Structure 1
Amino acid sequence: MFKKLLHGLNQRKVKVFSLFLLCSFLAWFLSNLSESYESRADFTINYRNLPDTLLLGKNSENTLEAKLRTSGFQFLYFNFFKKRIDLDVSQVTYQNGKYVLTEAVLKKQIEQQLSQNISLMDLGQNQLNVDLYQVVSKEVPVKADLILQFQPNYILDGALEITPSLVVVKGPGNEVDTLKSIVTGPIQLANLSADFSREVPLVFPKGLDNTIFSNGRVKVSGKVVRFSEKVFEVPVQVVNLPEGYQVKTFPNVVTVLCKATVDRLKELSLNDFGVTADYGQLNGADKNILFLKLSKSPENVYDVKLQEPSVNFVLEQE
């Protein structure tokens, strides 16, 4: 019984001693943290106020080392959370082919962002090289990588509409000058019988590491209409005849196939078409065939085709 009581008392003493030891350690630790120290800390760089004529390259430094004098609490905080420093790029100077922020400029900008209980003692470098380059800007047209398949008697009415149709490209001259157009991602549509609209990403060429684009996606749309066909019997007109002669063609009327909307076909007449045969094409050759040419065709139709490529003829003296 006595031994058990003694053992319990000893355990209690150990626990009390351990508690006092822990409290003493914490008091000592907090006391030391409250004192001032000099040490180095890394700051994450955030570049701002970039001039319109310059762009930030991929090789710009992301961190900056500085020697600070502050409390241990502050250094403990820096160990867990990196502090961010904003650097005003508009204050760069051009030296020996490089854009740099001098030590004086760096110290001034950093000191303005440090709290009153932190003193900047020194920087890990006497200047900061900033990867900047002159901007070249131009507008580049967008082309659609498009495959369309229509239902019978349907067709695309007019040109595709791409919004935006131009992309503003900014970057170094040796990269921007290589761009003639930007292509969309592939679009394949089948069995079309109605208007369509698709938003698609742009496919940017590889190797343009320092070039930026005003848009990454565009909208491609088109109007789909139903069409019909109509055949017109158009007389053949022979031109460039020799003086004192006339020509009779066989046949003297040829067929022209026109594709358009039904309403547009109703508006058309023979006067909207012209088919010519140039006698001068023979150039003195002994032939009796003249090739035909569609010399006049209506607007706002989808297709006009001559059904006969040539005619026979007989030359007669007047």
Structure 2
Amino acid sequence: MPALNLNKTQRRKLSIFAKCVIFSFLAWALFAVSSDYVYTIKAGMQYVNAPDNRAFHPLQSDTVSIQLEANGWQLLFSTLQSTTQSIQVDLSGLQRRNWVVFTNQLGFVNRQFPANKRVIAVSPDTLYFDFSKQTERKVPVTALHNLQFRKQYDIIDEVRISPEYVTITGPLEDVVQIERWDTDTVRASNVNGSIHTVVQLKQNQRANINVYPTSVEVDIPVGEVTEKILEVPLKVENAKQFSSVKLLPSKVRLTVMVSLRDFMKVTGSSFEAVVNMDDWVADGVTNLPVIITQIPDFCKLVKVEPQNVDFFIRK
């Protein structure tokens, strides 16, 4: 492509034209971001001020569309945000009826947004709820933990929780589906001693379910552990149809991790190892897998040798 040869005057005119284009674009951009726009976002709902004596079921999705009025800068920043907006919905009106209307609480919703954003409307505007008899039930608490132990340390006894049960209240059809309630995860690294802490229960994901208390005490006993190797005789299950079954070998070696305080208590009789002849009858396997059916609490099984055994049968 031939080079464009311009004289001094032409170059000056081209430079002035380019500057005019740039200035025009900047002026247009400044005007655009300074103007007000109406745009729509999706938002999740969190119910607050729910009636104490009424158990309810939302009859619609927990997500609504919100029309916002804001300037171009706010629209640009909202587009760049990756977090999902959530709003609180005041349910105090459910004391007298089974619906709430967003139009009546736009002021409450607007207070949840910055002053330079204004909520114009929420869709759907009316939320409907179904009411049922409220009941209560006690469920056990499960303590979740993610601990990184110092070498040769581990949990050596049962994790204790106080209180062991919490009371949940809500609609009968929802309460009966809850079998347990988890705590927040206890996290720690380089652990070499027992842990005692107060842990919050996991946040309730349903506005129509209440839990009490909201926190528990958790004791995690931690101590020094070591490996122990044991010989355990193999037992044969489901072999009544045979005259005899001979296993080769007749014992297995188990490598377990056990606390130093319990080292002498753990013996081969503390474990049970079996093979199931139904595996051969049903699947025709050539050797039988070893199944450990009994292991003391807080003994951690490391290795089983061998994992499969040969066998001879006499019908």
Q: Structure 2-normalised TM-score?
A: 0.48
Q: Who wins on radius of gyration, i.e. which is larger? A: 1
